[in-house]
Each structure stands twice: as C-alpha cells, then as structure tokens.
C-alpha cells in the first residue's frame, strides 16, 4: 500500500520555480546528463519539505534505449533525482544543523535507498514532481522520505540516505 502523499497539491502553488537549475549548480556537482533536477518549486525549511521537478522528454539520452518503442524513465534515475533534491536541501539549509563545522560545497554522496517502491510508469513527455521530507539529520548523514508524482499520481516512494564525503 502506498504511503500518504507528502504534499497536498491543492494547497501549494507549484507554478513558479523558486530555485533554478543555475542556482542548484551552486550546491550540486552532478552536471550534463546526470543533472536530474531541473528546479525547485516549493521550499518549506522549517517544515523540512522540498518539492522539485524533472521534465521528462522523448529526446532525453536514455529514451532511445530504455525501452525501445516504449521509453520509460528508469527507476534508478527517479531515485537519483530524489537524491539530488535531498542533497540540495541538506547542502542549502541543513549543513549548519550538522554541528561539525562542515562548509557548504562539501560533496554529499548517495548512501543508500530503503523501502523503495515503484507504483507507476514515468513516460515522456511529462513532469516528474519530486517531494522530499527530512526525517533525520546527523553529523555526517541524513535520511529523507521521498516520493515522485506524475499528474498528481504517485509513481515511486522510498527513503534516501545521504552521506557527507
């Protein structure tokens, strides 16, 4: 059974980008084909919630080969997109909470994924909405609950673990 959505689409204005790809580049080191996050639409720092997006296009680098004739955005890349949103929130808003003197710009690595479930297809051309909620933030590690939506339907969920490298 799917978890309850982290956000209520009816109560949030998700029509405006509040953090652009250019601004994300100040915190995320992934670039080119592996920049899986196009922007952030909602930041609730006190509520520990972030909403971002990845526009999925039929001419994306993976679309021709996964799966020929019926492209599907790979689940591993969905998780990567959520991990990048989590890393952005941690780097932009949580580093000072770590309490160990870490500085913005340190590399945040992918530590793992737990409880991952894929509940629907992500096919071009669509917008994959990503929601992450901070569950735990310690000195060198964090954990976020993550969900992905297409047309307000949950397509994946899981928990993202990140580590400061």
- Domains of the chain plus CATH, in order, are 21-164 (3.10.129.10)
Write down the pTM of the prediction.
Answer: 0.93
Which residue from 149, 137, 147, 157 is spatially nearest to 92, judged by alpha carbons? 137
Residue 94 has a pLDDT of: 84
Low pLDDT (below 70) residues in the chain: 1, 96-105
Which residue from 121, 36, 35 is spatially nearest to 72, judged by alpha carbons? 121
Residue 101 has a pLDDT of: 46
Which residue from 111, 101, 88 is spatially nearest to 139, judged by alpha carbons? 101
Residue 164 has a pLDDT of: 87
The rounded distance, in Å, linking the Cα atoms of 8 and 5 is 7
Residue 97 has a pLDDT of: 55
> ω before 47 within 30° of 0 (cis)?
no
For the beta carbon of residue 146, count every other beta carbon within 10 angstroms: 26
Residue 117 has a pLDDT of: 98
Residue 108 has a pLDDT of: 87
Instruction: Decide if 66 is catalytic.
Output: yes
Residue 9 has a pLDDT of: 92
Catalytic residue among 42, 66, 93, 133: 66
């Amino acid at each position: 059974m799917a978890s309850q959505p982290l956000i209520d689409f009816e109560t949030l204005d998700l029509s405006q980008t509040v953090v652009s790809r250019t601004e994300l580049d100040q915190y995320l080191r992934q670039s080119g084909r592996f920049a899986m996050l196009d922007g952030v639409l909602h930041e609730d720092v006190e509520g520990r919630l972030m909403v971002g997006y990845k526009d999925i296009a039929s001419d994306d680098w993976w679309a021709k080969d996964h799966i020929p004739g019926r492209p599907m955005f790979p689940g591993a890349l969905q998780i990567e997109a959520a991990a990048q949103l989590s890393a952005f929130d941690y780097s932009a808003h949580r580093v000072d909470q770590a309490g160990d003197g870490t500085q913005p710009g340190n590399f945040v690595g992918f530590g793992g994924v737990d409880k991952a479930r894929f509940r629907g297809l992500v096919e071009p051309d669509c917008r994959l909405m990503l929601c992450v909620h901070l569950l735990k933030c310690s000195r060198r590690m964090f954990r976020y609950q993550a969900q992905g939506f297409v047309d307000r339907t949950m397509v994946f969920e899981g928990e993202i673990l990140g580590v400061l490298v």
